[in-house]
Amino acid sequence: MTLLAANPKIVRVQTQYGPIPYVRNGRVCHKYVDFCVDYDNGFRMLIEVRASANLSDLPIEMELITNQVLKQYANRYRLWTELEISKPKIYRAEEMMRAKSLENKENTSAVSQRLQQMGGSATIFDLFASLQSEMTFAAGWTAVWALMGSGAVRHEHREPDAAVMTRLSRITITGANHA
């Protein structure tokens, strides 16, 4: 739920969405889906959340629903396992939500401007070192998380969903509007 709540493009989340009827072995069955997610562009996605070791017949049910009735309920039906829901990804979502609630526009603007002056990309340590006379380390982190949450910067890493950002991590301006 944290990952969904942190996504600014998601406008509504319903839990235990359904029942969705489908036919299996000639018999009508009903399925309640873990999440129904509506995006700001009108796209709707159904999401099941399971540990990969506990899938049982879920992939079969999902395929039957996708082939029989999905278009009546959503655009896409996805399965999220521990591969999609990593601890670093959840931590990042929590920090972006916290930063949004605490966001200081002056600090966010100062971090963004300094990052631009540094060529659009820098390690967090170098960025904060250059700002030490203007803001505290904690305020800098909050500003970076707010910029990440708005899509204005990204964590430069080959697998950002599997890596926790540290002082040695590199962030880069994306060009997204973060006003």
Residue 132 domain-assigned? yes
* DSSP-assigned beta bridge partners for residue 43: none
CATH number of domain containing 28: 3.40.1350.10
Structural tokens at position 104: 């200081």
Number of domains in the chain: 2
Are residues 43 and 54 in contact, defined by beta-carbon separation less than 8 angstroms? no
Q: CA 151, 153, 155: angle at the middle one, nearest 5? A: 110
Residue 179 within any structural domain of the chain = no
Structure tokens at 20: 């969705």
The answer as to whether 149 is a domain residue is yes
Could you tell me the pLDDT band of residue 176, with boundaries at 50, 70 and 90?
low
Q: Residue 130: how many CB atoms within 10 A of its CB?
A: 16
Claim: this prediction has a pTM higher than 0.75: no
Q: Does one domain contain both 100 and 169?
A: yes
Q: What are phi and psi of 59, to 5 degrees?
A: -60, -35
**Claim to verify: residue 106 and residue 135 sit in the same structural domain:** yes
In Å, how far from its chain's centre is CA 16? Answer: 20
pLDDT (tens digit per residue) in 26-48: 999 999 999 999 999 999 999 99
Task: Residue 102: give the domain boundaries.
Answer: 87-173
Higher-confidence residue: 14 or 103?
14
Residue bearing tokens 């250059």: 130
In a shared domain, residues 99 and 169:
yes
Percent of the chain clearing pLDDT 70 (strictly above)? 98
Residue 125 lies in a domain: yes
DSSP 81: -
> Tell me: the pLDDT tens digits for 135-165?
999 999 999 999 998 889 999 999 887 888 9
